[in-house]
Amino acid sequence: MLQHRSSRIALGVVLTLVMAACSKGNPTSSGSPSGGVAAYVSGVCGAVGNWENAVQSLATGFPAQIQGASSLDAAKQLFVQYVDENVTATDTMIAKIQALGTPSVANGAEIQSKVVGALQQVDASFAEAKSKAEQLDTTNPTTFSSGVTDISNTLDSELSGLGDPLAGVSSPQLETAASADPACQKLNASP
């Protein structure tokens, strides 16, 4: 289903951002990361892991919900709710990552700013999709379906086009911490 594809793209973008933030460059030290760096990395990966679970759960349950809709108005409401729940999950993830503060590494402020900025772009894409979903025409099934497809395709395109906001920024300390953190290892193993 198209909405499932948007969630998978969003998931891929966020996982790429986080893994890039925590694994840019090659570590030059095999020592243990400091508690602050390890806590930061664990917090980021934990927040993203929770977000991943929420987005996947929403995407899995949505097709059955929409197929059970009794009318186009009901389908529209379900679609708006689905996108809104993605916005809420993304907002929660961003708030948790912002609350972690700046990682105690060289370029820490730049890394935090770029990660949060990129995640805010994901959030803005979902928020725009919600706004468009609220405007969907429910007087004609073909028009409604076309509108949902357009919203999904736009969301897919926006999320796919984010690129790597961390190009040129690296942190061996974050990479070392990420390679040792179970939550990051789980994210790295995600398809």
- Residue 153's domain comprises 2-189
Tally of structural domains, the chain: 1
What pLDDT, in 10s, does the model give residues 167-178? 666 788 888 888
* pLDDT bracket for residue 25 (50, 70, 90): very low
pLDDT value, residue 172:
84
Burial 31-48 (b: 16+ CB within 10 A, else e): eebeebbbbbbbbbbbbb
For helices 172-180 and 35-67, what crossing angle results, to 10°?
A: 60
Q: What is the pLDDT of residue 5?
A: 55
pLDDT 10s digits, 65-83: 888 999 999 999 999 999 9
Model confidence at 10, pLDDT cuts 50, 70, 90, reads: low
Average pLDDT over residues 90-99: 93
* DSSP assignment of 83-106: HHHHHHHHHHHHHHHHHT---SST
